[in-house]
Structure 1
Amino acid sequence: MADTAVIPHERNRQAIPSVRQNLSVGMFKVVSDIDEGLSTMTITDLNSGAADIEERLKCLEEKILRWESESSMIWESGPSEASDYMQYVDEVRRLIEILESSPSFQDSDGIKLLDRAHGLIQMALSRLEEEFGFILVQNKQPLEPERMSFRSNDEEVVDEFSCSSFEEDISEVSGVRFSRDYPSKGPDEYIINLIDPVLIPDLKRIADLMFLSNYDKECSMAYINIRKDAIEECLSVLEVEKLSIEEVTRMDWASLDSKIRRWIRVMKVFVRVYLSSEKYLSDQIFGGFPGSFSQSCFIETTKGAMLQLLNFGQAISIGPQSTERLPRMIHLFEVLADLLPIIESLFPDEETGSSVRTECHEVLRQLGACVRGTFQEFKIRIKMNESTTAITTGRNHPLTRYVMNYITLLADSSEILDSLLVNGDERDRLLVMPKAFPTITEEDEEGDSSCKAPLVAHHLREVTSILEANLEDKALLYSDTSLQHFFMMNNIYYMVQKVKDSVLQPLFGDDWIRAHQRTFRQHAMDYERASWPLILSYLKDEGVCNPGTNSPSKTILKERFRCFNLAFEEIYRVQTAWLIPDPQLREDLRISISLRLLQAYRTFTGRYSSHLNSTRHREKYIRFCGEDLEKYLLDLFEGVPKSLHYPRRR
């Protein structure tokens, strides 16, 4: 008997029969498939004696040891060489089964043969482990940035707030090759080939043989380590940075906002495409193994990357609760909540996958708390916003524009915000992506009915109520009562238009719109009543005639026209500097003023101007015709202060 240097493998000597006993029905099919490819010489032909087995083992040693001196890889030599090597190794495995199971080989010669066989298969399996890793590395499909449509320039990344459908996002992944045989596990999961599909059968044959030889741990570790490196490369391609929680919390908002937007896009592609593809690859290679072997390999491969990405979300959630972050926080929560069902399906195992699921739920919980806290902070900031000086033009306040634009953004994600604003146990129950709005009952503006409204509608209306109260305080900064109403008219009108022309309309409802239309119209009327009665009083008939007669007094008429001129000059000088930004509101208010002023002026001048025909310097008193006033009124509310230039009259 040849004395080849081999090392007995005590683990394999005892374990191979037990592996057989634990094979699933699927694995028996795998064994049968391997057996069909073996040489025509069967193990039963060797049952005649130890000499025949020794001879066959010696032949297999020569064939297997030949590759130990080769520097090249077996799979580089072609499919025929690779197939032959697999057959040799499997035949050694089957020889071991015969030697271990037959009582006739329990003598010293039989034990020596078994030791040689164990040493040989350990050497061969170590080589197959190298070949397995070689195939995984050399046949990895590249992930190119341009194919994944991830741009390095942050300005080119779309600044999206509302969570668009994944079909829109996936359409940007130009050039990604989807598997025709396995295109999707579900409506939100897409599969790409991470390994050249031609080599998948070879990887599976190696894995099957290593598993049958009780070398499954070494096989899985080789797979996990190589695929971990591939995932690191994927994250690098997607430009994911490893940032500590401290680094994230110290980052300025502009930089952090850019990274959040990138994180959102990365998470969509990484979970729905890359992780789903990793799961499919693991199932292709290890799917026939008993228990959760394939699942465990996938989880061990990917959980580190997932926890790294979730760590960023956690860092965001514990950062400052500044209102500028709120829309992005809601979007981040929305995306992660939308991905949660996929994450839970990819990491279902209670032992190995629980850390990812637990961390994902914890990040969602923390983000939800951050959103609620920041939303309350938003209300407080509106309430506490103070001004020491009034806006001279009386235009709508910057706070009004900020708040209305802000809540318009929030309304784009009203469903998810609605679930986050629920209190107590109800909030916890609806934490993630509710199927329907939780509702509250509130009386409408008319008080004649009750309606069901989303909770978020109540909160957004509360925001506008806080804003209105703040604006009323700011209006008091004006000493001119007419300008107070002018300011409130501008702001309430702006609020109404923002609600009417946006996603806020269904949340606020027609009753709110009608009530606030009445409010800004009332302020417009109050402005007119505060600004124009004095000047109109000079155009009244009362007190024009001499006492006890029906004859108009020239002195009184001169004084009336003189006072009218001075009053109009002052209003013109002041209110040309006032501003109504909205063209329609500006035009409507001018028309309303014109109807009252022009009619009164034309009536008064038509009735009394002839009484001043003989008056010296008549033009000093009757400085305007109706057309002049009409033209001057068009200069009002443009925000450009002007002074009157009187026309010369003959």
Structure 2
Amino acid sequence: MEHLILTRDLLNTSLHQSRQIDFEIHKTAANVTRINHAFPSLEAAIRNMACKCATFGIRNHVDRALPTVSAVFKVSQVVNELGKLVSTHSASDLNLYLSLVKRFRQALTLLTNTCKLAIPWVEDVKLFLLDGTTDLGVGVDHDHPYQSNVCKTLHLLEELQGTEERSLLDQGILGVAFNKLEDEFRRLLIHNSSPLQVPSYLFSSGDEESDASDPLPPPPLPFPIVQNLRAIAVCFACDNQLDQCMSIYIKVRSTIVKASLQGLDLGYLDISLSEFDSVQEIEGYIDEWGRHLEFIVKHLLELEYTLCHQVFGQLDVWTDCFSKIALQSGIQGFIKFGNTVTKGKKEAIKLFKLLDMFAALNNLRQDFNRIFGGTPCSEIQTQTRDLIKKVVNEACEIFQDLSAQVELQRLTDPPPDGSIPKLVSFVTEYTNELLDNDYRPVLNQVIKIYSSWYDNNKFTKRLVSLEVHNIVKSLERNLVTWAKRYEDTGLSYIFMMNTSCYFSKHLTGTNLGDLMGESWIKRHQNHVEYYATLYLRESWGKISALLDNNDGDVKKRIRGFNEAFDQVYRKQSGWVLCDRGLRWETCQLILQVIIPVYKRHIQNYLALVESEVSPNKYVKYSAESLESMVTCMFQPKLDKYENSTKYTNLMGKIKNVVAGRFSPTTAAA
């Protein structure tokens, strides 16, 4: 439809121009006819004057002027013939038409130069006639036939000398020819240009590989069309008319680029973000941004870069042409969106998105340097360098602040049920992701660049490892502080069992576990056993001791056991052991502490009170009911930690953990 509209406009314009051209051609034909009628008579008059003045000194002046005047007449006839051909031929047969225009242009130049040569000779004749000391005896008056013929000849020569200049005017022959060539240039571009098809992978989440069925980008334009466009451009350049040709090219190709981008939803490029807004609100767009930027640079603008060079490469203006198309393509909108991301809140999640942005820009670095390397693209170069600087600075500042942000959480309270704080899972998953092969090389490169700017190249490859190690150590200090805040010592042991189990079990074989070392993992394994022993001694050892105590009667000991068990069970029923294996082992240890002793005392009690009416009066629990109750303890409300040997979708989980810089309200809950 767009092609049809453009074609309609082109036909209307051509029709209007044709009417004007027809009028000017008739006007020009009348002038040429007048000159053709006047010139032979003037030439004959001058020759007659030369015959009459053969015995005078003027003869030599006239003889010298006549050959050049005659040459002007012959050249003007050639110009007239070529002008008619240029005016009447169509530009559809482009090679022929360009040849006619070139020959006409050369004939005009020859006419101008011949006139410049002839005019001084004719002026010499005019001055000789006016001189009163000539061989004629007296000076010739202005109204003398000789003088009149010379003046007419001089006037015609001056008029012919201006033919070239007049032909370049809007309705001159060359002006009309250029209008035809402009229309042909526009037609070739419009009818042979089509929007680039958007690959299907740009509509996916970005995790899938590109569909093999996606068509490869077609060549910019067929080679014969490129040749014709280049020939027209060269023709325009010969007469300093290239600006109009470039204007047409930029308008048409920019329209094609914009049409290619219509298949993408790029509205997100105009999103605004303040320093108080979270990047989580637009993180999905950041992934799209990287894929879309790659498409526009590697495919759309690469194609335009190649085509500009093919059409205008010989004329040293192709980089200007490309820069204007690039600016109109919307590339600056992508840079603006990148700047928007850097303005958002400095939160931990933002680091990954900044690294994604840096990776996208770095992957396109060679392409940017090549296609935007010229002086006309200096604006894009400056804006891109500024964006990269902001991304690097922001990423390094967030990374360097992570350890301090972990320490700030020390002021918050631990989970009331002794479960694993969300900060623990967040930090371990977060640092594991930083150490992954997808992010660690990028982070190293970002820190290296930052170091070269501000730290005198003090970068080492161990810098990331050292900082992550510091983060984990800060987290461990938080755990010790939190454990001391529990009023119940048994709950503090449960808390330390949970966290040590998490470290030893879930970090084994991970990037973070490898960084911290085998001895660190082993230490936390030992901590699980150590705190489990302390927990059993603190919570259940005292209950077991009530039955082993031989003081008092059996009934009293059983009643004391029941009360102590009820109290412990009621208090600890809300406590949580997050790991299924640890929960089962702990329950088994509790049963080993109390069940054998309980069974023995129940049997002794029943043997002593066989004669009583209600022998089970003081036996509140059977051994089986105690086992059932104990094995149901420490169950989490949502068993979200079971079978979680490795989290593969970090970003989805972090969304539920952090609302800001390790949000205090959620990190320790």
1:391 is the counterpart of 2:415: yes
8 Å Cα contact 2:540-2:593 kept in structure 1:
no
In the other structure, the counterpart of 2:579 is 582
Shift, 1:482, TM fit: 0.8
How far the C-alpha of 1:104 sits from its partner, in A, is 8.6
Q: Which residue of 1 aligns with 2:566?
A: 569
| Residue 295 in structure 1 maps to residue 307 in structure 2 | no
**CA separation of 1:334 and 1:578: change in aligned 2, threshold 3 A:** same
Aligned to 1:178: 217
Opposite residue 393 of structure 2, the aligned amino acid is: A
Correspondence for 1:84:
96
Aligned to 2:556: 559
> CA separation of 1:340/1:520 partners in 2, compared to 1, >3 Å: closer, same or farther?
farther
* Matched-pair identity in %: 23
Letter of the structure 1 residue corresponding to residue 580 of structure 2: P
Contact in 2 for aligned 1:57/1:117 (Cα 8 Å): no
Asked if structure 2 preserves the Cα contact closer than 8 Å seen for 1:347 and 1:353, the reply is: yes
Q: Given the alignment, which residue of 303, 307, 317 partners 2:342?
A: 317
Cα gap change, 1:57 to 1:502, in 2 (>3 Å):
farther
Distance in 2 (CA, whole Å) between partners of 1:172 and 1:407 is 33
- After superposing the two structures, state which structure 1 stretch, 460-469 or 376-385, moved more: 376-385
Which residue matches 1:186? Answer: none
Q: Tell me the residue number matched to 2:544.
A: 536
Q: Say yes or no: does 1:125 pair with 2:178.
A: yes
Q: Does 1:93 align with 2:105?
A: yes
Aligned to 2:296, the other structure's residue is in SS state helix
1:533 aligned partner, one-letter code = G
Q: Which residue of 2 aligns with 1:38?
A: none
- Is 1:343 the counterpart of 2:376? The answer is no
- Does the aligned pair in 2 maintain the 1:419–1:427 contact within 8 Å? no
Cα distance change, pair 629–247 in 1 and its aligned pair in 2 (3 A): closer
TM-score with structure 2 setting the length? 0.68
Inter-CA distance 634–82: structure 2 relative to 1 (3 Å threshold): same
* Structure 2 counterpart of 1:513: 521
Distance across 1 between alignment mates of 2:360 and 2:507 = 26
**Map of 1:57 onto structure 2:** 79
**Deviations 1:562-609, CA, capped at 9 Å, x for gaps:** 33333233333333322223222222322333344445545x449955
Amino acid at match of 1:393: D
1:139 counterpart residue number: 192
Name the Cα RMSD after superposition.
Answer: 4.0
Q: Is the 8 A contact 2:465 2:515 kept in 1?
A: yes
Show the 5 A alignment for 1:36-51. Answer: 50=72
Cα distance, 1:635 vs. partner? 1.0
Cα distance in 1 between the residues matched to 2:610 and 2:434 = 70
The secondary structure found in structure 2 opposite 1:632 is helix
Counterparts in 2 of 1:121 and 1:634: CA distance versus 1, 3 Å = same
How far did residue 103 of structure 1 move? Answer: 9.4
Q: Per-residue CA shift, 1:521-565, capped at 9, x if unaligned?
A: 43333322322221232354xx53xxxxxxxx7x44433333333
Aligned counterparts of 1:116 and 1:388: Cα–Cα separation in 2: 87
Equivalent residue number for residue 264 of structure 1: 290
Shifted more, 334-343 versus 240-249: the winner is 240-249
Gaps of 5+ in 1: 8-47, 76-80, 152-156, 180-192, 432-436, 441-453, 545-552, 641-650
Distance in structure 1 (CA, Å) of the matches to 2:306 and 2:383: 23
Using a 3 Å threshold, how does the CA distance of structure 1 residues 344 and 513 change in structure 2: closer, same or farther? farther
Find the aligned partners of 1:61 and 1:252 in 2 and give their Cα distance: 70
Query: Is the 1:148–1:173 Cα contact (8 Å) retained in structure 2?
Result: no
The separation in 1 between residues aligned to 2:235 and 2:288, in whole angstroms, is 43
Question: Are 2:354 and 2:391, in contact at CA under 8 Å, matched by a contact in 1?
Answer: yes
Cα distance in 2 for partners of 1:283, 1:399 equals: 56
Q: 1:609 to 1:242 in 2, by over 3 A?
A: closer
Normalized against structure 1, the TM-score is what?
A: 0.70
Determine the C-alpha separation between the residues in 2 that align with 1:423 and 1:117. 60
Q: Distance in 1 between matches of 2:456 and 2:384?
A: 16
User: Structure 1 residue 639: deviation in Å?
Assistant: 4.2
| Aligned length, in residue pairs | 530
Pick aligned residue for 2:246 from 195, 217, 220: 220
Determine if contact 1:50/1:105 at 8 Å carries over to the other structure: no
- Find the partner of 1:375 among 392, 399, 422: 399
* C-alpha separation in 2, matches of 1:589 and 1:329: 44
Structure 2 distance, partners of 1:296, 1:509, is 58
Distance 1:414 1:226, change over 3 A: same
Q: 1:593 to 1:236 in 2, by over 3 A?
A: same
Kept in 2, the 8 Å contact 1:395–1:580? The answer is yes
Cα separation, partners in 2 of 1:508 and 1:205, compared to 1, 3 Å: farther
Structure 1 274/195 Cα, relative in aligned 2: closer, same or farther at 3 Å?
Answer: same
Q: Deviations over 1:89-137 (max 9, x none)?
A: 2322343565577799665377345446655334323432333233223
Aligned to 1:449: none
Paired letter, 2:397: G
**Cα distance in 1, alignment partners of residues 299 and 84 from structure 2:** 46
Aligned to 2:352: 327
Contact 1:271–1:342 (Cα < 8 Å) also in 2: yes
Which residues of 2 match residues 406-485 of structure 1 at below 5 A?
406-412=430-436, 413-421=439-447, 425-426=451-452, 439=460, 454-485=462-493
Q: By how many angstroms is 1:389 displaced? A: 5.9
Q: Which residue of structure 2 aligns with residue 363 of structure 1?
A: 387
**Contact 2:434–2:440 (CA<8 Å) still a contact in 1?**
yes
Question: In structure 2, what residue type is equivalent to 1:588?
Answer: E
The residue type equivalent to 1:200 in the other structure is V
- CA 1:251/1:92 → structure 2, altered by over 3 Å: closer, same or farther? farther
Aligned partner of residue 376 in structure 2, secondary structure: coil
Deviation at residue 394 of structure 1 after TM alignment: 2.0
Q: 1:279 aligns with which of 305, 308, 314?
A: 305
Q: 1:395·1:579 contact (CA, 8 Å) conserved in 2? A: yes
- For the residues of structure 2 that align with 1:619 and 1:300, how far apart are their CA atoms? 96
